Amino acid sequence: MIDIKFLRENPDVVKENMKKKFQDSKLNLVDEVIELDIKNREAKLQGDNLRNERKTLSAQIGELMKSGNKEKAENIKSKVQEINNKLEKNQALENEYSEEIKSRMMRIPNIMDSSVPIGKDDTENVENERFGEPLVPDYEIPYHADIISSFNGLDKESAGRTSGNGFYFLTGDIARLHEAMLAYARDFMINKGFTYCIPPFMIRSDVVNGVISFEELETMMYKIEGEDLYLIGTSEHSMIGKFKGQILKEEQLPVSITGYSPCFRKEVGSHG
């Protein structure tokens, strides 16, 4: 999430970044956040002033009680109670503004690096480097599921009975090949200096909010009913969350980790 101080001082930069991401429909969020931020800071200032006034009056009450002037002390106590009531309402207002700001900030995209090429979709991808030429065989390329099925390694029919459309069993040598490929990828990364990691397959909502966009939450993540836990969509979600709230020393950098996990995503299988 963008630092609100940066947004406050650079609203045009944030808006231009949205345009580069073709998210013009979100431009109004910047103005809404700025307006709410002004109100929130005014409420915070009001709260500070009320607390200072209460502190001053409380000190007066102490002095009056010592001098035996209880009647005047009681009058001031009533004023303190009025301040307490105002503070309670003011705190509720602060909380409301903070939540409104957060809900909008979570939908504002992070600033792209200046080196990123601008394009509305993958048809406008920029080719940086090419190795060799693509080979087009003179025979029809079979579908990967058909290849696996020819080895009796894929069972979609049974998976349909257990889990529904879009699922499958891998069996026999194909299942072994699946594990061998994972082992190869794991060892390849380890040999490149990465630390291998199998992360937790569930994460809390405060981690989810830090690793995916607000819009993706409902469309991609599976929530555990009745608990503050989500199934991860990739091992990256847990591994990024691993550093939540931590300050890393410069001598610890770079941190090179690679991970493996199931990827629980709602969109898997949605294309049939």
Kindly tell me the sign of the dihedral angle through the C-alpha atoms of 209, 211, 212, 218. Answer: negative
Instruction: Determine the distance from the C-alpha atom of residue 123 to the mean position of all C-alpha atoms in its chain, rounded to a whole number.
Output: 27
Residue pair 197/255 in contact by the 8 Å Cβ criterion: no
Start-to-end Cα distance in the chain: 34
pLDDT tens for the chain, residues 1 to 272:
889 999 999 999 999 999 999 999 999 999 999 999 999 999 999 999 999 999 999 888 888 888 888 888 888 889 999 999 999 999 999 999 999 999 899 889 899 999 999 998 889 999 989 999 988 899 999 999 999 999 999 999 999 999 998 899 999 999 999 999 999 999 999 999 999 999 999 999 888 877 776 666 777 889 999 999 999 989 999 999 999 889 999 999 999 999 999 999 886 444 44
Burial of 165 (0-12, 13-18, 19+ CB in 10 A): exposed
What pLDDT shows up at residue 269?
A: 45
Pairing mode, if any, of strands 222-223 and 169-170? unpaired
Q: What dihedral do alpha carbons 178, 181, 187, 190 form, nearest 10°?
A: -90
Report the C-alpha gap between 6 and 105 in whole angstroms.
Answer: 12
Characterize the bridge pairing of strands 195-197 and 257-259: parallel
Q: The tokens 């990828």 sit on which residue?
A: 185
Residue matched to tokens 């995503």: 265
Nearest to residue 18, comparing CAs of 2, 34, 5? 2
Check if the beta carbon of residue 99 is closer than 8 Å to that of residue 9.
Answer: no
As a whole number of angstroms, the distance between CA 35 and CA 40 comes to 9
Cα 25 versus chain centre, distance: 20
Q: pLDDT at position 36, please?
A: 97
Closest CA to 26 of 35, 16, 36: 16
Helices (H), the chain: 4-9, 11-20, 27-67, 70-105, 144-150, 156-162, 172-191, 205-211, 214-220, 235-241
Contact status, residue 169 vs residue 155, Cβ threshold 8 Å: yes
pTM for this structure? Answer: 0.68
Token digits for 155? 């069972």
**All domains of the chain, ordered by start, with CATH?**
4-105 (1.10.287.40), 193-272 (3.30.930.10)
| pLDDT at position 254 | 93
